[in-house]
Structure 1
Amino acid sequence: MAPVTNGRYVFNEYPTGYPVIDKTVSYDATNTIDLWNVPLNGGTLIKVLVLSIDPFLRNRMDMPDPEAAFSWSFKKGDPIEGYGVGVVLRTENSALKKGDLVYGLYDFQEYVIWPGLPANGISRVLENKENLPLSAYVGVAGMPGQTAYYGWKEYASPKNGEVAFVTTGAGPIGATVIQLAKAAGLKVIASAGSDEKVAYMKSIGADVAFNYKTTKTATVLQKEGPINIFWDNVGGETFEAAIEYAATGARFLQCGSVSTYNATEVYPVKNLTKITVKELHIHGFNVAGSLATKYREEFYATVPGQIARGEIKYKEYVLRGLDKAGQGLLDVLTGKNFGKCVIIVADE
């Protein structure tokens, strides 16, 4: 069989501010691959089906720190990389077989060769007993859902009747946290960047939902707080407002800081001394850290079933074609997306 095109989405240069399509990143259709004769060297040939667009991709476009012990920055000329689901076409790994669905970190290419799947907990063979759409496994049943589940289980310590404040509540992480908080009997305040997203947050259980672009966060928290749990995906001025209107002993779950990802100047939080005065508990974590080993199997045993039964709802923002990856990233970073941004690379 003749070689086929192996399109890829390539990183070209370190951006200042927002990435620019066809400059910072670009689609390259010049590569080809011989699917049935390419050497595997003990690895696995995977056809990529779905890829996830997440804010952390922008972090990986920062220039590497020469003094850092470890750099996760993308390399110029290489494909960008993120979470995805693919199907095994050929394998020399005895743990796998043709037709297996596999989840993990992928180069943004149509076909990839993995050297050692399964490995290190990031890679996983998906059973999909619930027959969920594969796109769910890069969203509510994948990394974003895991982030929400791990952090909430470990650090929230919710008590019935408490008040939680969730930022980016219409995104895949925030929306999942809203539903976890409501299931725990909390009053939930949630923010997002459009009136349409406000309506969605209310539909999944938020008691108080507001558009932070038209209503000041501090005004809402002053009226509806004090808050006992703060789930932060934003940082900056929102973090400052949460400190100001936090109850004594409140738990802050620091998941992200999207307000700083494209900023040339970082907002200076002015009330950090109140962390001490209010005895706040600040917990930073990431999905690939220590919590993954503790909660991963519990997550896969619990959450896909809840999704299938409609107990956890989700929304997707779907783009078709690997060439749309740059647009998807820009939409996520500017808030144009409504729901989890996924790229459908191939249907089967």
Structure 2
Amino acid sequence: MKISKIILRKQFDGFPKESDFELVEEDLGDDLEDDEFFFEALYISCDPYIRILAPSYKEGETVIPGYQLSRVTKSNNSKYPVGSILVTGAGWRTGGKSNGVGPEGVWYERNDLPKNVPQSAGVGIFAMTGLTACYGVEYVLKPKKGETLFVSASAGAVGNIAGQIGKILGCRVVGSCGSDEKIKYVKSIGFDDAFNYKTESVKEGLKRVAPEGVDLYFDNVGGDFASAVLKQMNRKGRIAVCGMLSSYNEKEPRAHVIQQTMFMKSLLMQGFNIFADIPPYNEEIYQKLKKWAEEGKLKQYESISEGFKNLPSTFIGMLCGKNLGKTIVKL
């Protein structure tokens, strides 16, 4: 079995460039050991965390990490027969050989996706993106009906799902975006209001869209932006720290003093991540997401590119904020 894979050619210097990536071929042979299977990639996810982990990648060696929706094509594994649909941590590969274990193995089985969503939702709502959004909103923020939830980067992959879940759980949901087009988009998927952070300050934007203050903050941005949001929060507000888009490409991240604001407002802030905190709740959250999707309350919104070789440009575009919803490459 021959596959293509994309490796790190040169370590990122600030913002990634297409020349930092290299497409190479690999021959995996045709034989399988006991419990091994071959798989082909159907959809590959583009995620910001790839940029965070970049300093640990080895030039000329590391396959760009990440997850994909895969289909088993040949199998010596009774648990994963031919035709099985899996979310694997295979990264930027067109296929591979696996025994299902380890970080590059099987993350989730997705043979029972709802019929009313596209199969690509297997790397969106029903994979890391949806699990992260649900855990952050429901398990970290613990919303109460009627509270105001603010989601930064609300037109992004996690942000749009977090907002939808906030609405399902009875919150008033507002957000921030980087263009008027994105504001229209988030309003179309149920957000009560949003502001353009490029044309309106966080302070003025939040005063307008959340005149009674913010109770819950789902933070995808961090940095100066997050510090400004904290000042607009109500007393005993809760913050779920999911991402830090504002500093992913900074060579020297800046320090932000937030203790005084947290002290004065009695705020509660909690960080979380998909690898350390969410696994015990994977199946529980998946069943909730499935139910909401089947009821038509939760939908997959995505930006899809086609062609394996377009992964680098698609990834860079996502970091530039060009995407609406989940960024995916279809093979």
Q: 1:245 to 1:76 in 2, by over 3 A?
A: same
1:174 is aligned, of 156, 159, 162, to: 159
Name the CA distance, whole Å, in 1 between partners of 2:130 and 2:47. 12
Say whether 1:31 aligns with 2:26. yes
User: Which piece of structure 1 moves more, 95-104 or 118-127?
Assistant: 118-127
Q: Deviations over 1:75-108 (max 9, x none)?
A: 6323212111111112222212111111121131
Name the CA distance, whole Å, in 2 between partners of 1:248 and 1:103. 41
Q: 1:303 to 1:118 in 2, by over 3 A?
A: farther
Q: 1:313 to 1:82 in 2, by over 3 A?
A: same
Name the CA distance, whole Å, in 2 between partners of 1:129 and 1:291. 20
TM-score after normalising by structure 2: 0.92
1:54 is aligned, of 43, 47, 50, to: 47
Name the amino acid aligned to 2:215: N
Say whether 1:139 aligns with 2:124. yes
2:194 is aligned to 209
1:108 is aligned, of 64, 69, 92, to: 92
Whether the aligned pair in 1 keeps the contact of 2:91 and 2:104 (CA below 8 Å) is no
Aligned length: 328
Q: 1:118 to 1:96 in 2, by over 3 A?
A: farther
Whether the aligned pair in 2 keeps the contact of 1:191 and 1:198 (CA below 8 Å) is yes
Q: Deviations over 1:108-141 (max 9, x none)?
A: 1112111335989962221225234221111112
Name the amino acid aligned to 1:8: K
Deviation at 1:323, TM superposition (A): 0.4
2:240 is aligned to 253
Whether the aligned pair in 1 keeps the contact of 2:37 and 2:98 (CA below 8 Å) is yes
2:133 is aligned to 148
Deviation at 1:26, TM superposition (A): 2.2
Deviation at 1:33, TM superposition (A): 4.5
2:285 is aligned to 299
Whether the aligned pair in 1 keeps the contact of 2:8 and 2:62 (CA below 8 Å) is yes
Q: 1:164 to 1:271 in 2, by over 3 A?
A: same
Q: The residue matched to 1:82 in structure 2 has which SS?
A: coil
Name the CA distance, whole Å, in 2 between partners of 1:74 and 1:56. 16
1:343 is aligned to 329
Say whether 1:326 aligns with 2:309. no
The percent of aligned pairs where both chains have the same amino acid is: 28
Deviation at 1:307, TM superposition (A): 2.0
Name the CA distance, whole Å, in 2 between partners of 1:196 and 1:74. 38
Q: The residue matched to 2:90 in structure 1 has which SS?
A: strand
Q: Deviations over 1:53-95 (max 9, x none)?
A: 0000111212x3xxxxxxxx45632321211111111222221
1:222 is aligned to 207
Name the CA distance, whole Å, in 1 between partners of 2:257 and 2:37. 51
Deviation at 1:264, TM superposition (A): 2.6
Name the CA distance, whole Å, in 2 between partners of 1:88 and 1:204. 34
